[in-house]
Amino acid sequence: MSEILSHLPATDLVPSGRHGRQDGPAGVVAYGVERLALATLTARKGAAPQVIAAAASVFGIALEDGPKVSLAPEAAFMGTSPGRWLVSSGEGAEGLEARLRDAFAGLAAVTDQSDANLVLDLYGPQVRAVLAKLVPLDLHSSAFTTGDVAATLVALIPLTFWQLNDSPAYRFAVPRSFAPAFLRALVSAGAEFGIEISGTGRG
C-alpha cells in the first residue's frame, strides 16, 4: 500500500479514483459529501432536559440524549456524549447555526463545524470487513445498526460516524486536518477488495 500512495505528499488527500485491487466491482466506495452544514450543540450544565424539550417544540423530534441519530425533516442530530450532539443539515452553515442558536438560546452552546470536517459516506459489499480493520467497535448488525452513532478513535484519529441504513452505509465526519491520514488508512484497509474514492475535495 505504501507503494500505491508513495507519490503523494503525506498532507494531500487521497485523490478520486480506484485504489488497490482493480478487477471486479469495488468492495468499498468512499464518497465525499459536499454542501453539508455541521454544528455541535452542547447543553449547558443541567440543561439537557430543556434542550430535549426545545427540540421537540422547534424541530418536532424526540431528541435522544445518547449515541443515536434523531431525524428532523431539515436536520439530523447525532448524539456524541451526554448533552452533546453533532447536527447536520443540507442548508447552509450560517442558516443552520442561526436556527440552532434561536432554538436553544440560553440552553446550549452552538459551534459551526461545517468547514472543520471532511464528511464521507462509506458503503459497498465489503464495507464491514474493511471497517473491522480500523474501527474498535463491533459493527455486526446485532451490535451496531441503522441510527447508531459512535464518537471514537479510528486509526488513532478522533472522529464521529453513524450508520445511515441497513445496506449498510456509514457516514464519517473526519476532522479535516486528519483527513489525509484517515484516507490513507482507509485505502490500506480496503486495498485487497478494491476501493473507489470520489469527491474528496480540497485538503
Domain end marker among 64, 80, 112: 112
Asked if 123 and 183 sit in the same domain, the reply is yes
Q: What pLDDT, on the 0 to 100 scale, is given for residue 13? A: 76
- For the domain that residue 187 is a member of, what is the CATH number? 3.30.1360.120
Asked if 27 and 122 sit in the same domain, the reply is yes
pTM of the model: 0.92
**Pair 79, 70: CB distance under 8 Å:** yes
Q: What pLDDT, on the 0 to 100 scale, is given for residue 1? A: 44
- For the domain that residue 54 is a member of, what is the CATH number? 3.30.70.1520
Domain that holds residue 107: 37-112
Whether 107 is covered by a domain: the verdict is yes
**pLDDT block averages, 10 residues each, the chain of length 203:** 53 82 96 94 98 97 97 95 96 89 98 95 98 96 97 95 98 95 94 93 48
Domain end marker among 112, 137, 166: 112
Q: What pLDDT, on the 0 to 100 scale, is given for residue 93? A: 78
- The arrangement of strands across the sheet holding 75-81 comes to 69-72, 75-81, 84-89, 37-43, 108-112
Q: What pLDDT, on the 0 to 100 scale, is given for residue 6? A: 53
Cα first-last separation, the chain: 21
Q: What pLDDT, on the 0 to 100 scale, is given for residue 5? A: 59
Asked if 23 and 41 sit in the same domain, the reply is no
